[in-house]
Structure 1
Amino acid sequence: MHIRDHSHINYSISLSFEEIKLPPFQDILVLAKNSPQGKLGLSKSFELLVPNGFHLIEINDDKVEAIFVNKKILNKISVSKIIEILKAKVFQYISEGELLMVDFKITISYTNIEIS
């Protein structure tokens, strides 16, 4: 006895795509101690992907080796303030070998502007 299978296979495909920007983060990257990439490797990668776009800041911390900061942020806030904020709010959550992407949006507002 032969069984004939006359069923048809139907495929359903969902497809989506979007543009990405390199590097895949915009603001700050925190590099933990003993990260496999290392600060020199990441520095070279950034110079190829975004020449002159990020500033490497070496950090003296138990958990963090360095941070990469978008230079546009440095036009608005000082390196020391950035480090102070990251030490207080971010560094405590990083694990050895990790890379953390930090969204660091700055809003500047003025109030009570006097015009004479």
Structure 2
Amino acid sequence: MNAGKTYGIDVSFEELRLPLSHDVLILAKKSAQGKRGLGKSLDLLAPGTFQTMDTNLEHEHVEAIFVNRKLLTKISAEHLIQVLQRHVFEHVSEGELIKVDMKVRISINNINS
């Protein structure tokens, strides 16, 4: 018998404050720190923790997304971007740096092996 899987995703977001312990950082266009500068800063503060995802997503305010690599072991980059597009991007204003904390729940039901 196949196990039934269900996935649940909770999303919250707010303006970035240090220290870093976030799942996703969204860099808006015309932000004080550019994509390259923020990438270098993140590498200095938390080496190897974040993966940069450029956004050719047709959103007027979002320039880049920095994703905690641990999160990508639980959810695909494509699915993550879809969730952000549906629920977060519309709230991003020009010049902001937004932190997004995500809790990914994976439930497996009917395990009979």
Shorter-chain TM-score: what band? 0.7 to 0.9
Runs of 4+ in 1 over 3 A off after TM superposition: none
Structure showing greater radius of gyration is: 1
Question: Is 1:49 equivalent to 2:45 in the alignment?
Answer: yes
Deviations 1:55-107 (A, max 9, x none): 00001222100011000001111111000000000000010000111111111
Q: How far apart are the structure 2 equivalents of 1:58 and 1:95?
A: 17
What TM-score do you get using the length of structure 1 for normalisation? 0.77
1 or 2 for the larger relative contact order (CA 8 Å, sep ≥6)? Answer: 2
Partner residue of 1:85? 83
The equivalences for 1:3-22 within 5 A come to none
Task: State the match for 2:13 in structure 1.
Answer: none
Structure 1 residues not aligned, in runs of 5+: 1-21
* 2:38 equivalent to 1:33: no
Q: Matched residues in 2 for 1:91 and 1:82: separation? A: 12
What is the RMSD computed on CA atoms of the aligned residues?
Answer: 1.2
Q: Provide the C-alpha distance between the structure 2 equivalents of 1:107 and 1:23, rounded to a whole number of angstroms.
A: 25
Deviation at 1:35, TM superposition (A): 0.6
Percent of aligned pairs with the same amino acid: 51
Q: State the shift of 1:23 in Å.
A: 4.3
- Which has the larger strand fraction? 2
Count residues with an aligned counterpart: 94
Equivalent-residue separation in structure 1 for 2:37 and 2:101 (angstroms) = 22
Aligned to 2:92: 94
Instruction: Give the TM-score of the pair, scaled to structure 2.
Output: 0.79
